[in-house]
Amino acid sequence: MKNKAKIITFIGVLGLLIGLLSFSYIKGGKEKVLINLISKTIQFNHFENIKIDNDYSKKVFEMYIENIDFGKRFLLKSDIRKLEKYKNKIDDEIENQTFDFFDLSIELIDKRQDEVAEIYKEILATPFDYKKEEYIELDPEKREYPANKKEVYEHWRKYLKYSALQKYASLIKQREDADIKNDTTYEYKDDKTLEEDARKDILKTYNEWFERIEQLNRDDHFSVYMNTISSVFGPHTQYYPPKAKEDFDIQMSGKLEGIGATLQQNEGYTKVMKIVPGSACWKQGDLEVEDKILKVAQGDETPVSIVDMRLDDAVRLIRGKKGTEVRLTVEKIDGSIQIIPIIRDVVLIGETYAKSTIVTDKDGTNKIGFIFLPKFYADFNNRNGRRCAADVKKEVAKLQNENVDGIIIDLRNNGGGSLQDVVTMSGLFIEEGPIVQVKGRRTKKHVLKDPDKKIQYDGLLLVMVNIFSASASEILAAAMQDYQRAIVFGGKTTHGKGTVQQFKDLDDAVRDNQIKPLGVVKITTQKFYRINGGTTQLEGVTPDIIFKDPYSYIETGEKELDHVLGWDKISVAVYNQLERSYDYDKVVANSYKRMENDSIFEIIDLNAQRLKKQRDITKFSMKLTDYQNEQLERKESIKEYNKIKKIETNLKFSLLEDDLILMKTDTILKVSYETWQKGLQKDKYIKEAVFIMGDMQ
């Protein structure tokens, strides 16, 4: 009866909403429909009961100003003061479907961008003095908005000078390299010519950038405003206009020919969020999660800057036909700049499936099964399609037939996927019981349980994770940890995404076809909770044994996003912890002792500290010699770390008998497995995982 009442209430609200929208359209147009519909749809469906009040208004104001002028490059202090009159009134404008704040913001930003468009060419027309002692602060949070046009000019002079300095230093380095190699094809140019070429290159970049700005229309600005209104509810709650929905979670993989990375726009930069296993960039190996893509070049053509470029436009430059080359200029997490050439290809779908191997130490005393699971995949459109739970079950059976002493499941960089499959998969390792709890705002908690009482594998188990293990990966790791079924071995924590999102099609609430399509909103509707009651949201899963990695001292993951949902706890599910067959404290202590005395882990730790230190530096010299020395120091400091990447472990990896039989007729599969195993040979973390399993025995 209660559920029926809820359904009736929702239908009533939706009906009222449709009536309001029809009236709004007649009275004021599509924008009124959208702001009313988006705000009410999110408010009604979102996990948290967030009120659209003055506090909400302030958050929208701050986030929106940052969105339209990240870097404080255009708006004046006086502009901010004008806009601040609406700081506590945006909630009222949403309620009344008025746009005074939005209209003023567009008027001001358009005016200031037009003014800058008149000065950047003038600045770049004159040579820069790179012998002068001068500095630039690149962190906008450490700078104020300019007070007048003179300060705007000065900021842009420094900004363009630093951009030209980077290009100038690069051209000098190319000349030096050509001289060292005695390259007779290189056209020698003196310093004056190279400095001029650098300015011309930057001029071309900003000509293209301001051309893109001129093409922006009111709909583009309005999408930013609506997305800000949505995103204040949480980073995973977003508005997608019809065109943007087509590019949702852009993945240059699958049927698309490209590099194989998931990208996201963050503070004006196109950032790598995920590398797709089996993709072109995965094979090439240099592109990494957290890299910022600054420029894109088609082969040896002139690179195009994609800073501040719309994500869909940036992706169109990166995508391309199989066999063609794209060169990405990226900024690494330590601030160093690297050009990465990638030959575009179609992702080998087989690379995304679960696979296994047998690993033994140099003494041959430990025979461990190793299962690699890059994502929790499932073919929802085909009942007989591939599912990761079924595939992992097969891999476990194959390893059992080989009489392994234990199994390692590698979930590093696994961003999650099918909830049903992670529940079923977890059930392979326990007899029965709950796996995860799910709760919505208006619903009681729902406990998802192991679907059967069978236990496929009851031997020693270790789960590997890192900061990029998210969602379903965190559910499996948490369940195994709570049951004391496995040791979790990984970075300082997992990603911390413990929320569920749903899409709501806005067209469903509108009768008038004249204003369709309106797009969709993605809304956070539920949270995941461990069986011990705590959510995986924000805090993620803390491993039993923590290893050092490049992100050990850098804050990343869910907690670094704006307006994230917090950690909380609900009631504990009914479950029984299993009794360990080994001395847990001793196993943990032995592992830490080994890593502390391992020179490779010491280098990894020192490199992580270096990355943290360099990431915190935001003020830079614009003197050529200082810049060159700084780049040289960065290159030298990373050399030692790059050495250990090439060092192979003493581990031996053997293919399973079933896979060897398949490879006799499938040469592509054979090459794929051999390439995979070569990579495993250099994985220091797997080596320590094998030692841990030896202690568990």
Query: Is 569 in contact with 534 (CB distance < 8 Å)?
Result: yes
From 482, 544, 549, 659, active-site residue: 482
623: phi > 0 → left, psi -120 to 50 → alpha, else beta; which?
A: beta
Instruction: Note if 482 is an active site residue.
Output: yes
Determine the angle formed by the axes of helices 77-84 and 54-68, rounding to 10 degrees: 150
Containing H/E element for 304?
strand 304-305
From 271, 355, 497, 623, active-site residue: 497
Angle ∠(301,307,310) on CA atoms, nearest 5: 100
Query: Is 428 in contact with 452 (CB distance < 8 Å)?
Result: no
Instruction: Note if 497 is an active site residue.
Output: yes
Q: How far is CA 602 from CA 445, 492, 607, in A?
A: 44, 16, 9
Q: How far is CA 277 from CA 75, 268, 285, 297, 454, in A?
A: 43, 27, 11, 23, 32
269-270-273-278 Cα dihedral, nearest 10 degrees: -150
What DSSP string runs through 536-563?
-TTT----SEE---TTTTS--SGGGSTT
Containing H/E element for 620?
strand 619-621
The structure tokens 């950690």 sit at 567
Q: Verify cis geometry, omega within 30 degrees of 0, for the bond prior to 517.
A: yes
Query: Is 322 in contact with 259 (CB distance < 8 Å)?
Result: no
Q: Which residues, 6+ apart, have CB-to-CB distance to 517 below 8 Å?
A: 242, 507
Both tokens of 430, joined, read 């326990």
Angle ∠(141,261,215) on CA atoms, nearest 5: 60
Q: Residue 127's closest CA among 177, 62, 82, 192?
A: 192
Query: Is 548 in contact with 608 (CB distance < 8 Å)?
Result: yes
From 305, 356, 426, 471, active-site residue: 471
- Residues with active-site annotation: 471, 482, 497
